[in-house]
Amino acid sequence: MSVTQISSIGEFGLIRRLTEKFPLTNSSSLVGVGDDAAVLDYASKQVLVTTDLLLEGIHFDLVYVPLKHLGYKAAVVNFSDIYAMNGRPKQITVSLGVSKRFSVEDLEQLYDGIALACKQYGVDLIGGDTSASLTGLTISITCIGEGEKDNIVYRNGAQPTDLICVSGDLGSAYMGLQLLEREKIAFSGNESATQPDFDGKDYILQRQLKPEARKDIIEALEKAGIKPTSMMDISDGLSSELMHICSQSKTGCRIYEDKIPISYQAAVMAEELNISIVTAALNGGEDYELLFTVALSDYDKVIPLEGVSIIGHITKPELGLHLVGREGEEIELRAQGWNSLQE
Amino acid sequence: MSVTQISSIGEFGLIRRLTEKFPLTNSSSLVGVGDDAAVLDYASKQVLVTTDLLLEGIHFDLVYVPLKHLGYKAAVVNFSDIYAMNGRPKQITVSLGVSKRFSVEDLEQLYDGIALACKQYGVDLIGGDTSASLTGLTISITCIGEGEKDNIVYRNGAQPTDLICVSGDLGSAYMGLQLLEREKIAFSGNESATQPDFDGKDYILQRQLKPEARKDIIEALEKAGIKPTSMMDISDGLSSELMHICSQSKTGCRIYEDKIPISYQAAVMAEELNISIVTAALNGGEDYELLFTVALSDYDKVIPLEGVSIIGHITKPELGLHLVGREGEEIELRAQGWNSLQE
């Protein structure tokens, strides 16, 4: 593969080369890259804005994260925040800080991943800023989306007796990360090591390296005529997100350990690494599944939804936040996870 | 001053502490910090979006830039991009990457500067992301603003015979930077050095450390009934910005050296440092003045505007981009500045 120094094409050349693969496709995207600001028309819709800053060495490790995957994930996690408002992502801006270590082709790989995510989710790249950095790679993404005034779902609308639901399964992304970290250590300083064996672990790896935002769930909820009473995406872990919803809604909650959806591969990996899979599900984070509450009266509508699990219910605030274990024991949910009664 | 480690109050504690001084004041800001995304209502207005990434060691040097000034400037340069579309900035998101070197109080100073800028320009802080970084300070700001469909001004509308105008003066911010760099060198390794002498240089220092966005000019243009045919703000230098306007408008231009507005302090400083003040004005950048073109028929309306200079006119593209020197000589404007015929 050819290697082009960024300095050889200059900042404007770089921006042109990276952004030329991004046509504007949304009617709300009037003008994208190339002026002092992008111009959007949201007509009667409300505008949703979310932003994320990703720093090399803190949020990602290029030893095991391919740049294309990184670009895809960086975009998707922002889309996820917009879906978590019951909105639809429409535009992103991407700013990069790049050290000399990176070539134009490296950045093209990163943008290929962003482009794939944009295509997959129908989002337009409308701007950004590209600059040199002294060390490493910095990615800052802002995502803008639309919501209908009466359909935006906040974190503060949960009510006692509401059902607590999650999409997909939890803990897989965390187990994928543990696997990658293990292989990285096994590899370091071991020149004779063969390629790591990821057989039968493809699902947890994909959950870590190439997560998806749950556009499908948002669409399924709409089709089923369900408007959640509260919603957020699970980026820090179920426990932490439940605390946000309960604190903003001024409620308590009770969830059941045996209802938490776990993938087979994550469970096997947890056993292999001697990690509690429930702890991984509660605190692992990065699953980008949706956590939402629905009125009890929507029970019959929720049940048929594929990929949605009811894991508990909202309670009055004075009952606190609890996980009910497999033996019926009550464990308090804590800020940085959960402490069993035995600890 | 007390020093609080960021780790002692945690990420959410930090965000709360930094953002509690930012009330929402605009009717378009429905929900700010605290959910997956902010919610805005732009009704019939169009939405303008711009973003900037600032990295320590590349865009700023904390040896001579106070954190409060840095916060003010980081916000204002984004507002400037929205004004340059003939828009009005309304919201910003601020993301920070922060190494252990910084305390909570440091970040409060930075946010004090951002808060001051927000208050001054009527802008609401609506979100952001705060994270650890391995080295230095990273600031990513996205600014959202409103524009009226028929009043947004792009870079591509200039026509031959249009007058080329700039606000304020050019080159001062660059001369301020040269002064700060000189004092930094004079100071380094010189423990006995006295405080640097900035007497009579306050204006160029302010232009570098605490620039303003030209909200006043945008308002004056509106009041005078002038809609520029093209506009942008001068962040990289007059020469580079003129090239953007001419290339996007498919025109040439001719500007006159003796018409370029220069401040007295910048001229004195240039002489002291043996730098050409015209080069500083053409290529220095960071003045955040507005460069715009108006139809020749608006000449009578432009003349009375305070703080606006007519520096030349737009030509047909085949005439190229030229600076006419004091002796009438023609100098071609180049991408990274200008080359005189003598060179």
Which of A147, A175, A197 is a domain's end point? Answer: A147
The closest of B232, B199, B191 to B85, measured between CA atoms, is: B232
* Tens-digit pLDDT profile for residues A247-297: 999 999 999 999 999 999 999 999 999 999 999 999 999 999 999 999 999
Please report the ipTM that was assigned to this predicted complex: 0.89
pLDDT(A82) > 70: yes
Mean residue pLDDT of chain A comes to 91
B343 belongs to a structural domain: no
B105 belongs to a structural domain: yes
B67 belongs to a structural domain: yes
B154 belongs to a structural domain: no
Residues A180 and A304 placed together within one structural domain of the fold? yes
B56 belongs to a structural domain: yes
Residues B95 and B187 placed together within one structural domain of the fold? no
User: How far is B123 from B144, CA to CA, in rounded Å?
Assistant: 9
CA distances B165 to A122, A189, B149, B290, Å, are 40, 62, 23, 8
Residues A254 and A195 placed together within one structural domain of the fold? yes
A295 belongs to a structural domain: yes
Query: For A55, which of B36, B97, B144 is closest by C-beta distance?
Result: B97
Which of B88, B115, B147 is a domain's end point? Answer: B147
Query: For A53, which of B31, B38, B131 is closest by C-beta distance?
Result: B131
CA distances A316 to A249, A251, A319, A323, Å, are 10, 5, 6, 15
Find, in chain A, the residue whose alpha carbon is nearest to that of B46.
A41
Inter-residue contact B140 to A51 (CB < 8 Å): yes
Residues B299 and B225 placed together within one structural domain of the fold? yes
Inter-residue contact A31 to A121 (CB < 8 Å): no
Query: Is the CB of B142 less than 8 angstroms away from the CB of A51?
Result: yes
* Tens-digit pLDDT profile for residues A118-142: 999 999 999 988 888 998 999 999 9
> What pLDDT is recorded for position A23?
84
The tokens 């200039």 sit on which residue? B158
Residues A67 and A140 placed together within one structural domain of the fold? yes
* Tens-digit pLDDT profile for residues B229-265: 999 999 999 999 999 999 999 999 999 999 999 999 9
- pLDDT interval class at A191 (50, 70, 90): low
The domain of A322 spans 163-338
Which of B15, B24, B53, B60 to substitute to test the interface with A, most A CBs within 10 Å?
A: B53
A158 belongs to a structural domain: no
Residues B120 and B203 placed together within one structural domain of the fold? no
Q: Which residues of A touch B59 (CB under 8 A)?
A: 131
Contact partners, residue A276, CB within 8 Å, separation at least 6: A270
The model carries a pTM of 0.92
The DSSP call for residue B229 is: S
Find, in chain A, the residue whose alpha carbon is nearest to that of B47.
A40
**Alpha-helical segments (H) within B54-103:** 67-83
Residues B143 and B220 placed together within one structural domain of the fold? no
> What pLDDT is recorded for position A80?
97
Give chain B's domain count.
Answer: 2
Residues A207 and A313 placed together within one structural domain of the fold? yes
Query: For A50, which of B37, B58, B147 is closest by C-beta distance?
Result: B37
Which of B87, B121, B147 is a domain's end point? Answer: B147
Our CA angle for B54, B126, A127, nearest 5°, is 50
Which neighbouring-strand residues pair with A128?
A94
User: How far is B218 from B273, CA to CA, in rounded Å?
Assistant: 34
Tokens of A116: 């794939």
Residues B182 and B326 placed together within one structural domain of the fold? yes
- pLDDT interval class at A319 (50, 70, 90): very high
Residues A169 and A142 placed together within one structural domain of the fold? no
- Cβ-count burial A130-168 (b if 16+ within 10 Å, e if not): bbbbebbbbbbbbbbbbbeeeebbbbbbbeeebbbbbbb
The tokens 């800052």 sit on which residue? A140
Inter-residue contact B206 to B176 (CB < 8 Å): yes
Q: Which residues of B touch A37 (CB under 8 A)?
A: 48-50, 81-82, 84-85, 87, 143, 145
Count of H helices and E strands in chain B?
10, 14
> What pLDDT is recorded for position A341?
30
Query: Is the CB of A81 less than 8 angstroms away from the CB of B232?
Result: no
Query: Is the CB of A37 less than 8 angstroms away from the CB of B49?
Result: yes
Q: How many CB pairs under 8 A join A and B?
A: 184
Q: Which residues of B touch A136 (CB under 8 A)?
A: 134
| Domain CATH number, residue B28 | 3.30.1330.10
* Tens-digit pLDDT profile for residues B5-45: 888 887 778 878 888 878 888 888 888 888 888 888 898 89
Q: Residue B67, Cβ neighbours under 10 Å: how many?
A: 20
Q: Smallest CA–CA separation between A232 and chain B, in Å? A: 6
For the beta sheet containing A252-256, the strands, ordered from the edge strand earlier in sequence to the opposite edge, are: A230-233, A290-294, A163-167, A308-315, A252-256, A321-324, A330-334, A337-338
Inter-residue contact A37 to B49 (CB < 8 Å): yes
Q: Smallest CA–CA separation between A36 and chain B, in Å? A: 5
Mean pLDDT of A152-166: 97
Q: What proportion of chain B, given as a percentage, has pLDDT over 70?
A: 95
Q: Which residues of A touch B288 (CB under 8 A)?
A: none
Q: Which stretch of DSSP H or E encloses residue A215?
A: helix A215-223
User: How far is A193 from A182, CA to CA, in rounded Å?
Assistant: 13
CA distances A219 to A57, A88, A123, A189, A306, Å, are 35, 10, 16, 48, 12
A152 belongs to a structural domain: no
Residues B187 and B50 placed together within one structural domain of the fold? no
Tokens of B91: 């919201």
Inter-residue contact B114 to B181 (CB < 8 Å): no
CA quadruple B235, B238, B241, B245: dihedral, nearest 10? 140
Q: Which stretch of DSSP H or E encloses residue A251?
A: none
Inter-residue contact B63 to B125 (CB < 8 Å): no
CA distances B245 to B158, B195, B326, Å, are 7, 43, 24
Q: Smallest CA–CA separation between B196 and chain A, in Å? A: 28
Q: How many CA atoms lie within 13 A of B163 on its CB side?
A: 20
Mean pLDDT of B79-105: 94
Query: Is the CB of A85 less than 8 angstroms away from the CB of B39?
Result: yes
Q: Which residues of B touch A52 (CB under 8 A)?
A: 95, 129
- pLDDT interval class at B341 (50, 70, 90): very low
Contact partners, residue B118, CB within 8 Å, separation at least 6: B22, B75, B92, B124, B125
pLDDT(B339) > 80: no
* Tens-digit pLDDT profile for residues B308-318: 999 999 999 99
> What pLDDT is recorded for position A343?
30
User: How far is B19 from B126, CA to CA, in rounded Å?
Assistant: 9
Find, in chain A, the residue whose alpha carbon is nearest to that of B37.
A50
* Tens-digit pLDDT profile for residues A176-190: 999 999 888 877 766
One-letter identity of residue B248: Q
> What pLDDT is recorded for position A10?
78
Q: Which stretch of DSSP H or E encloses residue A114?
A: helix A104-121
Residues A16 and A122 placed together within one structural domain of the fold? yes
Count of H helices and E strands in chain A?
10, 14
Query: For B51, which of A48, A95, A154 is closest by C-beta distance?
Result: A95
